[in-house]
Amino acid sequence: MERKLASLLVLALLVSTACGSGARPPGSASPGGTSAPAGTGGDGAIGLALAHVPRASASPADAAEAATAINAFGLDVFRRVGAAGGNVVISPASIALALAMARAGARGETATQMDTVLRSVGSDDRAAGINALAQALEGVNGAFKDAAGDDLQVTLRIANAPFAQEGVTWKAAFLEALAARFAAGLRLVDYSSDPESARRLINGWVSDRTEQRIPELLANGVLDNLTRLVLVNAIYLKAPWLNPFEEGQTRPGPFLRADGSTVEAQMMSLHAALPYATGEGWRAVQLPYVGDSLALTVIVPDQLTAFEKGLTPEALEAIVESLAPTQVRLAFPRFGMETQADLAGTLQALGMPLAFDPDRADFSGMTDQERLSISSVIHQANIDVDEKGTEAAAATAVVMRTTAAPAEPVALQVDRPFLFALRDTRTGAILFLGRVSDPTTR
């Protein structure tokens, strides 16, 4: 039985080099001590500063609490990023994970504002939640059988990597939080003398972990010689449907856009028992992936704009809970899209302006050597949905600078703008959330 949706998400497998390894690299921090950074030059191997503390224990209750918080935060971000209309996709999990790493070093009113916006995700009091959700999601990967009995592979890769300025002394408590909560150690680079080289290293790291779906997260000019820390999360997902669409049945069909115009989309066809529900002003269907740990929940509102305005975490949870097995004859558009955004303005408007204020931001939990503030929160997400399944990726970089069932099948024609939420069905965490206004454009 599915857990309650809780709200939006946090995709946190926390796959990264960090705690638990045997030998310490030169310049790494010892438990309880401060870091003694050792850097690297050019594009070679990257030095590490890390605390050797074990990964924290986890509980299902902590995971569910984190999912609830991230889902609510994700809906807030989605409404603002999608306010201009059109196609949009974000990864609330990726955004929350990257910001939670920054929250580990925030203090005072800066921390209070971040806790309000993030629903306390990443706070010291609720630090166990992200780690617990990460461990709950680790079981998603593996080989599973689809409805025809064929073996198919689900891949869910999540990695966290803070890239820090070499030569800066980072506090032991911050290093320990990164290790225990995110399984991450500081990768040491040199922004001061060569920010472009650091940018290439970070982009290369993201590209490798997203199967080249996000080859350049950080554009030219995002980093400069005042950059001191870039906190990066990357997510990659490839999951086949439990009930794949038959490619030979895909046909061109009309899709009614929000402005009343019509485009011709490639409509896939499926006739199967699927979780389905209908309510006042909406219809919904859920498409499971092999393994039954992930699913794509599709909601087709009669009036998209009005529905989005009233979509709360509780309303979304109620829709998911109302889904029941039903014979469905489904027509669904093949689509792919990508969204890129700097979320700095969005996050300030949601209630955490202090983190971006060079004069008042308090990240003294990271280092006393320099005053840091957030300059950018760069987010990129993309998703492709076809007859076989879904492939998607997301990455977020927090850039910090110094200051100085019925007998007859129902028919559902998804031929108008719709929302989708790619969810972990056990915790309710939403990994990707989006809107398709026109499936023929990216």
**Residue 16 pLDDT > 80, yes or no?**
no
**Which pLDDT score, from 0 to 100, does residue 23 have?**
27
Q: Is 425 within the bounds of a domain? A: yes
Chain-centre distance of CA 38, in angstroms? 31
Do 236 and 259 belong together in one domain?
no
User: For the chain, how many helices (H) and strands (E)?
Assistant: 9, 17
Do 190 and 228 belong together in one domain?
yes
Is the distance from CB of 400 to CB of 48 less than 8 angstroms?
no
Q: Is 36 within the bounds of a domain? A: no
**Which pLDDT score, from 0 to 100, does residue 183 have?**
87
Rounded to whole angstroms, the Cα distance separating 39 from 49 reads 9
Q: Is 105 within the bounds of a domain? A: yes
**Residue 80 pLDDT > 90, yes or no?**
yes
Do 368 and 432 belong together in one domain?
no
* Phi and psi torsions of 255, nearest 5°: -130, 120
pLDDT band at 383 (very low <50, low <70, confident <90, very high): very high
**Residue 156 pLDDT > 60, yes or no?**
yes
pLDDT band at 35 (very low <50, low <70, confident <90, very high): very low
pLDDT, tens digit, 9 for 90 and up, residues 266-304: 999 999 999 999 999 999 999 999 999 999 999 999 999
Q: Tell me, what CATH number does 416's domain have?
A: 2.30.39.10
**Which pLDDT score, from 0 to 100, does residue 54 have?**
63
**Which pLDDT score, from 0 to 100, does residue 128 have?**
85
**Which pLDDT score, from 0 to 100, does residue 403 have?**
80
Percentage with pLDDT > 70 across the chain: 88
**Which pLDDT score, from 0 to 100, does residue 409 have?**
77
Do 328 and 358 belong together in one domain?
no
Do 121 and 227 belong together in one domain?
yes
Residue with tokens 């911050």: 174
Do 185 and 280 belong together in one domain?
no
What Rg do the C-alpha atoms of the chain give, in angstroms? 22
Work out the angle at residue 319's Cα, subtended by the Cα atoms of residues 315 and 323, and round it to the nearest 5 degrees. Answer: 165
Q: Is 227 within the bounds of a domain? A: yes
Task: Pick the more confident residue, 4 or 106.
Answer: 106
Q: Is 112 within the bounds of a domain? A: yes
pLDDT, tens digit, 9 for 90 and up, residues 210-247: 999 999 999 999 999 999 999 999 999 999 999 999 98
**Residue 34 pLDDT > 50, yes or no?**
no
**Domain with 161 in it:** 47-73+91-240+337-402
Chain-centre distance of CA 370, in angstroms? 30
Least confident of 13-17, 97-101, 102-106: 13-17
Do 431 and 374 belong together in one domain?
no
**Which pLDDT score, from 0 to 100, does residue 15 have?**
24
**Residue 319 pLDDT > 90, yes or no?**
yes
Mean pLDDT of 387-401: 98
Mean pLDDT of 326-334: 97
Do 204 and 157 belong together in one domain?
yes
**Which pLDDT score, from 0 to 100, does residue 139 have?**
74
pLDDT, tens digit, 9 for 90 and up, residues 177-201: 999 889 899 999 999 999 999 999 9
pLDDT band at 55 (very low <50, low <70, confident <90, very high): low
Rounded to whole angstroms, the Cα distance separating 19 from 85 reads 43
**Which pLDDT score, from 0 to 100, does residue 11 have?**
30
Do 299 and 213 belong together in one domain?
no
What's the whole-number average pLDDT of the chain? 87
Q: Tell me, what CATH number does 211's domain have?
A: 3.30.497.10
Closest residue by Cα to residue 419 from 305, 280, 318, 254: 305
Percentage with pLDDT > 90 across the chain: 73
pLDDT, tens digit, 9 for 90 and up, residues 119-155: 999 898 888 888 888 777 777 889 998 888 989 999 9
Residue with tokens 């008042």: 360
**Which pLDDT score, from 0 to 100, does residue 102 have?**
98
Do 125 and 258 belong together in one domain?
no
Q: Is 3 within the bounds of a domain? A: no
Q: Is 37 within the bounds of a domain? A: no
Do 176 and 64 belong together in one domain?
yes
**Which pLDDT score, from 0 to 100, does residue 147 have?**
87
Do 346 and 315 belong together in one domain?
no
pLDDT, tens digit, 9 for 90 and up, residues 61-72: 898 999 999 999
**Which pLDDT score, from 0 to 100, does residue 345 have?**
97
This prediction's pTM: 0.86
**Residue 309 pLDDT > 80, yes or no?**
yes
Domain count, the chain: 2
